Amino acid sequence: MTRSITGLGALFAFALVGLLLLPLVALGLSTAPTDLAAGVSHPDFAPALALSLRTTTLALALTLVGGTPLAWWLARSRSRVARVVEVVVDLPIVVPPAVVGVALLMTYGEHGLLGPLLDGVGIRLVFTPAAVVVAQLVVSAPFYVQAAASAFRELDPDLGLVARTLGASPVAAFFRVALPVAAPGLVGGASLAWARALGEFGATLLFAGNMSGRTQTMPLAIFAALESDVRLAVVFSLVLVAVGALLLVAVRLPGRRRDR
């Protein structure tokens, strides 16, 4: 009986792997070398890729700066406020990106909650490259905070106590003990957040627009290409998959080596 259940589980596991892998294989098989060369040389390719890399890198940096202390507080606090904040932080994970885009418009748009205040100091956020970063940050940061908080919760409390008895301040204990020990979880969360930012579409489209060379990221360039040239959209998609895979490996590989 146990072997039957194990075999059935393995069958479903392989089926799931195939379900995830097959679309990528199909994407690669549907692209000819000539199509790949034409797509890479397309006028929209380089600006969209460069914008995606710049904005996602900035969004990830802001996530790390703000998300790390937030995750530490969520992991250490037992208050009801922390639990409420945790729900609020996780909310963008379950809310559709289009809803996030509309919410950002209602917050920072011309007639939004903060729109008149920003306009009064000469700041226009909507339909700018900064809006791309904000959209990516909102949808991706929860993935890092969630993973980082889990990593911090798994830390042995005695580690901090030992560091304090040896004369380390709370800040020094955090940077010298907590961060290095929790690093694998933090790196995993950062890679998830970066990948989510790289693939962000709905919130960016509604909040930042789809202006070539200004707010058009790679996902938006794929969307625009689908309207006129499916082969171009396939090439853009394949390049985005390759870039994402390479950067994810680059982020996670050092952590795997340290574990070994």
* 37: in domain: no
* 20: in domain: no
* 10: in domain: no
Q: Residue 200: what pLDDT?
A: 95
Q: Residue 31: what pLDDT?
A: 84
**How much is the pTM?**
0.89
* 8: in domain: no
pLDDT along the chain (260 residues), means of 10: 66 88 89 86 94 96 96 93 94 94 94 90 93 97 96 81 68 82 91 93 95 95 91 92 83 60
- The 3-state secondary structure of 118-169, one letter per residue: HHHCCCCCCCCHHHHHHHHHHHHHHHHHHHHHHHHHCCCHHHHHHHHHCCCC
* 250: in domain: yes
* 94: in domain: no
* 228: in domain: yes
Q: Residue 160: what pLDDT?
A: 64
Q: Residue 4: what pLDDT?
A: 61
Q: Count how many domains the chain has.
A: 1
* Host domain of residue 244: 42-78+126-259
* 31: in domain: no
Rounded to whole angstroms, how far apart are CA atoms 66 and 124?
A: 23
| CATH code of the domain containing 52 | 1.10.3720.10
